[in-house]
Structure 1
Amino acid sequence: MLIEGYGHGPVVAGESLVGRRGFWANHLLAMCGDGTCAERAIPEWFGGDGADADALAEVLFDPEQWPVFRVLVPDGHPVPGVVVVYRNLVDEFGVDCLLGGQDRCLVAGLSWQELIRVTDCPEPPADSVQDVSGRFLLLLPLLSGEWSDEVVRERIVAALVAVGAPEGTVGRAAGHLLGHLERRALHDAVWGSPLSGG
């Protein structure tokens, strides 16, 4: 696999990891790590447990293999897809989100409409994450701008249940994620979206 700008990075296809227990804890807990909540999010809210999350973390954050998750759309789709790269440099870890088309620039944020257009597109390419809930949750950290809390919360709950989060705590997990998105949006209000030309 070759991704422009990551010629020296050992990128590998990561789509098969999306269905493994502990994946969503690793991916989504990163959103909740700013220390602003009285209650700390835990891996069990997202399916699996701490041991599952730890085992998968060794794969996700391996400096010798950087997982890449392609959330692509068919040619001619009104909004380009997104490629999520776990950039596992030893002293500079990060998750980069790049436009999925020819122009692989970094994506700072997606509006609610853009997020839904990418995640819900019919018949995504075969080399892309296929599951709609997985596509949505992979790109959820990019949500910016304005949105309806009720609509977003309902979608987060449905997506979490679909990927195996326990129904008993899914409301708490969704509220926690939404709270972090809202706090971040207040700080990142100047972000434009490369998908809309902003």
Structure 2
Amino acid sequence: MLIKGYDEGPLVAGESLLARLGFWSNHLLVLCSDGSCGEPPSPECFGDDGADTDAMSEVLFDPEHWPAFRVPATDGLGAVVIYRNLVGDYGTDYLLTHPGRSYAQQVASWEAGFSGAGLTWQELVRIADNPYSAAEGVQDTAARLLLLLPHLMDSDLPTAVLARLTTALTVVGAPQDTAATTAEHLLAHLARRSRHDPTWESPLSGS
């Protein structure tokens, strides 16, 4: 698999992994890995268990296969999430695709923490809610939102965010009775990150 603009690693299409147990706990628990959320969610909060999470970790972090998740959008403003599985340098890279540009641009990464340019909530929702069915990639709006959630950096989130995130978590398999609490934990970390990095720039707004 090739993505123009990203020349590292043996990329493989990762979209089929989204429906497997253990994916969302692997992808989202990292947001609370520094303890800033208080008591962090467990794999069960995403509808998984520890065995599911461990088994999926072996797939997601395989140095021989780097899963790439394409998030195409109708207006051309899309994204790609790549698990960068260099031995000793594991991380997640976030790329954006732009109208009229034949290559993707890496704008951020997650290693021990987030670095690079973040998305505002409005920008994230614009990508999530406009899937491009004619292109290969993730089409489900809930999955698109959650894939890009670690890329969110917005110090002024609207009140509707909690309900939207709670709904998205239940769509991908999180238990309904704990989804709101899990969403609160994830948002607590994102809000803290925004306060600590007030000079972030949005890669879509031109700031």
TM over 0.5, shorter chain: yes
Q: Which residue of 1 aligns with 2:36?
A: 36
1:50-95 per-residue CA deviation (whole Å, 9 max, x = no partner) reads 1111111110010110000011113xx1x61110000001110110
More strand by share: 2
Q: CA deviation at 1:35?
A: 1.9
TM-score where L is the length of structure 2: 0.88
Deviation at 1:146, TM superposition (A): 3.4
2:112 corresponds to: none
After TM superposition, give the deviation of residue 149 of structure 1 in Å: 5.0
What per-residue deviation string (whole Å, max 9, x for no partner) do you get for residues 170-191 of structure 1? 1110110010010011112211
Match of 1:72 in 2: 72
Give the structure 2 partner of residue 97 of structure 1. 94
Query: Residue 70 of structure 2: SS of its match in structure 1?
Result: strand
Quote the offset at 1:103 in angstroms.
4.3
Encode CA deviations 1:32-55: one digit per residue, 9 max, x unaligned. Answer: 111223313211101121111111
Q: 1:100, CA displacement in angstroms? A: 2.1
The answer as to whether partners of 2:155 and 2:191 remain within 8 angstroms in 1 is no
Aligned residues: 195
Partner of 1:116: 125
Structure 1 residue 8, shift from structure 2 partner: 4.3
Q: Relative to 1, partners in 2 of residues 1:150 and 1:93: Cα closer, same or farther, differing over 3 Å?
A: same
Match of 2:12 in 1: 12
CA distance in 2, matches of 1:49, 1:19: 15
1:168 alignment partner, SS class? helix
Taking structure 1 as reference, are residues 94 and 184 closer, same or farther at Cα in structure 2, changes over 3 Å only?
A: same
Match of 2:169 among 157, 160, 171: 160
The match for 1:150 is: 159
Q: Deviations over 1:149-197 (max 9, x none)?
A: 5311111100001111001211110110010010011112211111111
Report the Cα distance in structure 1 between the residues aligned to 2:89 and 2:134, rounded to whole angstroms.
Answer: 31
Identify the match of residue 191 of structure 2 among 171, 182, 190.
Answer: 182
Partner of 1:106: 107
- Contact 2:72-2:131 at 8 Å conserved across structures: no
Kept in 1: contact 2:71–2:131 (CA 8 A): no
Is 14-23 or 139-148 further displaced after alignment? 139-148
- Secondary structure, in 3 states, of the residue corresponding to 1:189? coil
Return structure 1 stretches of 4+ with deviation > 6 angstroms: none
Gaps of 5+ in 2: 109-116
Contact 1:73 1:125 in 2 (8 A): no
Q: Does structure 1 retain, via aligned residues, the 8 Å contact 2:163–2:180?
A: no
Residue 7 of structure 1, CA deviation: 2.9
Q: Letter of the 1:192 partner, please give it.
A: E
Assess, with a 3 A threshold, how the Cα gap between structure 1 residues 42 and 56 changes in structure 2: closer, same or farther: same
* Alignment partners' CA distance in 2, 1:122 and 1:37: 31
| 2:182 maps to which of 167, 173, 185 | 173
Q: Is the 8 A contact 1:84 1:95 kept in 2?
A: yes
Residue number in structure 1 paired with 2:113: none
Aligned to 1:139, what secondary structure does the other structure show? helix
Q: Which moved more, 1:3-12 or 1:37-46?
A: 3-12
Counterpart of 1:111 in structure 2: which amino acid? Answer: T
